[in-house]
């Protein structure tokens, strides 16, 4: 990772998990920020593939990053997405629903 970046810890909405993120400015006009997941997550017996958990990884990168529809034009946008993703991840691990169902419930969409 090169360029402007900020590393932050986030505690999920239910106070069950702590997430370690690096917010990286790609310097592009669209989708300028990427949110890297620094600490590996134990998904227990839940499906942990990238599709089920909204994570991607480039071949030449060490860390996975959050896969999210929409443009992340500012650090604040990226922080909001990271918070929703972390809250959904925590509930997904502890629950029986799909990751997407938690996104719908938390965002109202």
Span 33-83, pLDDT tens digits: 999 999 999 999 999 999 999 999 999 989 999 998 888 888 999 999 999
Residue 30, φ and ψ in degrees, nearest 5: -120, 150
pLDDT digits 0-9 by tens, 23-43: 999 887 666 899 999 999 999
Please state, in angstroms and rounded to a whole number, the distance separating the CA atoms of residues 91 and 76. Answer: 23
| CA angle at 67 for the pair 35 and 94, rounded to the nearest 5° | 95
pLDDT of residue 50: 95
- The predicted model scores a pTM of 0.89
Average pLDDT over residues 77-91: 96
């Amino acid at each position: 990772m090169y360029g402007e970046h900020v590393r932050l810890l986030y505690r999920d909405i239910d106070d069950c998990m702590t997430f370690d993120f690096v917010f990286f400015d790609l310097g592009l006009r669209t989708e300028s920020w990427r949110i890297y997941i620094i600490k590996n997550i134990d998904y227990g017996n839940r499906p942990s593939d990238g599709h089920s958990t909204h994570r991607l990884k480039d071949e030449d990168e060490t860390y996975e990053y959050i896969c999210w529809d929409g443009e992340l034009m500012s650090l604040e946008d990226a922080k909001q997405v990271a918070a929703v993703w972390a809250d959904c991840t925590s509930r997904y691990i502890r629950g029986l629903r799909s990751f997407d169902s938690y996104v719908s419930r938390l965002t109202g969409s």
